[in-house]
Amino acid sequence: MGPEVTVGATGSFAHQLWRLKKAAGDPSYDRMRAEFGALASKSALSEAARGHRLPSWDVTWEFVRPLAVGVLGQDPASARRTWRLRWETAAAQPDRPVAAIPGDRATFVSDLDVPDGTVVPAGGRIVKTWALRNSGTVPWIGRYLRRAAAFGPDECVTPAEAPIPATRPGEAVRVSVDVRLPETPGYHQVYWKMVDSTGRLMLPGQRAVFFLLQVV
């Protein structure tokens, strides 16, 4: 399971920690402590990857060091510089406060195509479509699904945002996004959250929608 919050500087940073953990074989937090030597508590490690608040640098390094250095064999000094820069970048961009709008709610209906776990060829293209229902009392006007984290050269390439057609309470809507698949084999997962036309996060208490593909 990925971060609970995946937008903003803190959510994006949590997503990077989660991707590192997946790359290292997704060990449990107990195993990170007992076998790989993480010095932070289990609760601190878990909280760091949830995305609700930025962890301290000390907790961040104790999350990163056992995985990047101990499991993946990265150079300690290089890994420390890379992650210190990422942490400082996130710390310098405080997230905009968000508040739920009374009566605003969405319900995930279904994946309309390309189910999660679908095997797809490297370098190809697909269109991913979700069905969402406006299960609240607030009309959706001028809203988008926004990709929760920036992507690199080894990840799926997508637009940053996918427009959501105007949707009245009780109505269902289809939202599609074009995806160019990476050349790198493996599992690739991308999260999306609803925002308004100004980029303000909507439905902050609800989980993101996502797609998960196996690239071969």
pLDDT at 211 over 60: yes
Is this structure's pTM higher than 0.85?
Answer: no
Residue 32: per-residue pLDDT = 93
| 212 contact partners, CB below 8 Å, separation of at least 6 | 116, 117, 187, 188, 189
49-96 tens-digit pLDDT: 888 888 999 999 999 999 999 999 999 999 999 999 888 888 877 666
What pLDDT is recorded for position 94? Answer: 60
pLDDT for the residue numbered 149: 64
Q: What is the mean pLDDT of the chain?
A: 88
Which pLDDT value is given to residue 130? 96
Handedness of CA 212, 207, 26, 9 (dihedral sign): positive
pLDDT value of residue 98: 59
* 132 class by beta-carbon count within 10 Å (0-12 exposed, 13-18 middle, 19+ buried): buried
Q: Which residue has better confidence, 100 or 23? A: 23
- pLDDT score, position 85: 87
Are 201 and 167 spatial neighbours (Cβ–Cβ below 8 Å)? no
Q: Span 44-49, mean pLDDT? A: 91
Taking CA atoms, 196 is separated from 101, 112, 153, in Å, by 12, 24, 28
- For 52, the token pair is 């609700």
- Short-list 86, 82, 12, 83, CA closest to 49: 12
